[in-house]
Amino acid sequence: MRTSWIIGGAVAGLLVLSGCSAGQASGPRPATGAAADGRVRVSVLLDGLSVRDETRGVRFDRDRFDYGGDLDPDGDGCWTRREVLIRDSLATPRIGPSCSVAGRWRSAFDGVTTSDPDALTIDHTVPLLEAWRSGADEWSQQRLVAYGNDLGWAGSLRAVTAALNEEKGNSDPASWLPPLDRCGYVSTWVGVKARWGLAVDPEERDAIERVLDGCDDPQAPRPPAPDLDALT
């Protein structure tokens, strides 16, 4: 079962990055401009997102996402962090007792390579707090857990250096962008928000548009709707 989502997720993640060289609420606009191969412009995905100010009235509860626990939907003995390390390894990963993982990784968006899994953390492209303030505060418990452990689409979770993840924190593109491949980063950010039906705030949208204006018309596959039962 792992093989199917590794291959599918990795292909989706590669496609997402291809081609990349005061807020009143507004509803999502219909997406047009799909390419013949089924991909769409990232700008079209962005146009399909609701624009509204972030929600800050409901207390954020990180534990409800159940990330960092022992969730293992496919029953192979590996939980979310280990599954991402297995998927993202550049070399064929070696899996030991208790799903210990040996491999070689390239940290997304800062280019650091390492063979030490302890040097890596798993980054939620759209951080949990950002998701919460963008609509997740109204979700069911199952949907929150599925989001926190989204192994169904490669753009949602990725292995990065601890320093990069700490620097990013809970920031959106209006306050933080990575040192490398900003076109790919905001394309993936938009893809995650489209997959999960999350909103963008006006400043966030403006920042994304500024980055996309400097990109070579990035395109992406339309992200599939999450399968909550499979993810949890």
pLDDT in tens, 81-136: 999 999 999 999 999 999 999 999 999 899 999 999 999 999 999 999 999 999 99
Host domain of residue 67: 2-231
pLDDT band at 69 (very low <50, low <70, confident <90, very high): confident
pLDDT tens column, 1-48? 444 333 334 433 433 443 343 333 333 333 334 444 578 999 999 999
3-state secondary structure of 150: coil
As a whole number, mean pLDDT of residues 161-167 equals 95
Say if residues 99 and 79 touch (Cβ distance below 8 Å): yes
3-state secondary structure of 26: strand
Say if residues 215 and 180 touch (Cβ distance below 8 Å): no
Of the listed ranges 85-94, 169-178, 221-230, the least confidently predicted one is 221-230
Calculate what percentage of the chain has a pLDDT beyond 90.
76
What pLDDT, on a 0 to 100 scale, did the predictor assign at position 222?
86
How many domains does the chain contain in total?
1
- pTM score, whole prediction: 0.84
